[in-house]
Chains A and B, each alone.
Chain A
Amino acid sequence: MTQLAEPAPLEILVVDDNEDDVLLLQESFRELPSVSLMHAVHDGEQALAFLRREGSFAAAGRPGLVLLDINMPKKNGFEVLAEMKGDPLLRMIPVVMLTTSSREADVLSAYNGGACSFVTKPVSFDRLKLIAGHFASYWTTVVQVPKKPGD
C-alpha cells in the first residue's frame, strides 16, 4: 500500500454519556498513533464548557474534531451542534455525530444542523476497531482540519 504523508496528529473531543462506549473508543484510538489525544466529557453542557474553556476546563485544548453523541442528559447532541454552529469561535470545528441511531430523521437533522458526518456506533468491538481505524485514516491523512487559533 502506498504510504500517504505522515498523519497529522489529531486531538478529538468525545461527548458521550455512556461510559462503556467511551472506554471502547479510548481503547480503539489508543492503537492508532495518529490520534494524539482523546478527551471525553459526558454531556452537552460539559462539552460547551470544554470548548469555551470555562470553569474546570480553563486549560482545555482546542480539539481538531468533535465526536458527538445524540441522546445525552442536560443538552442533547442536536442542541450542542446548534450552539457550536451558531458560535463564530466554534463553528469551524468539524462535528461528527456518533450515535446508536440510524434513523433517517436523525441523519437529516444532523446534516441540516451542520454536522460533517454521521457515524452509527457498531455493536461489536471488532467492528468498532475497524471503523475507528478508517475514521482516523480519513481525518488524519486525507483531510486537513482547521488549524487551532494561535497555532
Chain B
Amino acid sequence: MPDDIQPQPIEILLVDDNDDDVVLLTESFKDSRFLNLLQVVPDGVEALAYLRREGAYRAARTPGLILLDINMPKMNGFEVLQVIKADPQLRMIPVIMLTTSTRDEDIARSYDGGACSFVAKPVNLEKLKEVVKQFALYWTLVSIVPPRRSGD
C-alpha cells in the first residue's frame, strides 16, 4: 500500500456460539482503533448460509475475514473450515481460528486445514482488548485482505 493511504475498515464474520464471548469481542472491536464491521453468526451452518447468501442472508456481503470458533453445535470449526477451503467461491477468504484451545493438535489441524492464523482467546478482558487491537492493526494496516467478489 502506498505510504499515504489510511487503513481501510474491513468486514469480519465472527462465528461463535458463546454469547459472552461475542459481547466481549464486539466490545473490544468497538474499542480498537479501527471501525471494523463485525457480523456475528452462532454456528457453522449459519456461517455457511451467510457466506453463500442463502435464506435470510441474501443481502449478506462477503467478509474480508472470518473469525471461527472451534467448539460449536451442529458443525464444529474444523468442519466449517474444510467446507470453506474446498469451495472455489469462498476459499480465498482468510480464516482465523479463535478459540479457547491451546492444544498443539488443534493448532496443527487448523493450519493443515488452511486456516491463516490460530488465536487463543485471552480470558482476561484487558488482554482480549489488546489482542483485538493488534489484530485490527495487522489486518487493516499491514496485510491486505482479498478483493471483494463482484456484486458486493
Contact = CB atoms under 8 A, between A and B. Distances in A.
A96 interface: yes
Given A144-B102, A147-B104, A147-B107, A2 B1 contact: no
B104 A122 contact: no
Contacts of B102: 144
A142 B142 CA distance: 14
Interface residues of B, number: 36
B119 interface: yes
A4 B145 CA distance: 25
A134 B144 contact: no
Interface stretch (B14-22, B39-47, B49-57, B91-99): B91-99
Contacts, number: 105
Contact of B134 (A119, A123, A127, A137): A137
A16 to B, nearest CB: 17
A131 B142 contact: yes
A138 B135 contact: yes
A135 B142 contact: yes
B143 interface: yes
A127 B130 contact: no
A142 B52 CA distance: 29
B48 interface: no
Interface string A92-134: 1110100000101001100110101111101110010001001
Contact of A142 (B94, B119, B146): B119
Query: Do most interface residues of chain B lie in helix, strand or loop, or is the interface mixed?
Result: mixed
Interface string B114-145: 10111110100011011100110110011111
Contacts of B91: 111-112
Contacts of B147: 104, 107-108
Given A102-B144, A108-B92, A111-B92, 18 more contacts: A3-B130, A5-B127, A111-B146, A117-B143, A118-B143, A118-B144, A118-B145, A135-B142, A137-B138, A138-B117, A138-B135, A138-B142, A141-B131, A142-B138, A144-B118, A144-B119, A146-B107, A147-B107
27 contacts: A2-B129, A4-B131, A4-B134, A91-B111, A92-B111, A93-B111, A102-B1, A102-B144, A107-B147, A112-B92, A117-B94, A118-B144, A120-B144, A122-B3, A123-B2, A127-B3, A134-B134, A135-B142, A138-B117, A138-B134, A138-B142, A142-B117, A142-B131, A142-B138, A143-B118, A144-B118, A144-B120
Complex A-B, nearest 6 residue pairs according to Cβ-Cβ distance, in ascending order: A138-B138, A92-B111, A111-B92, A116-B116, A117-B143, A104-B147
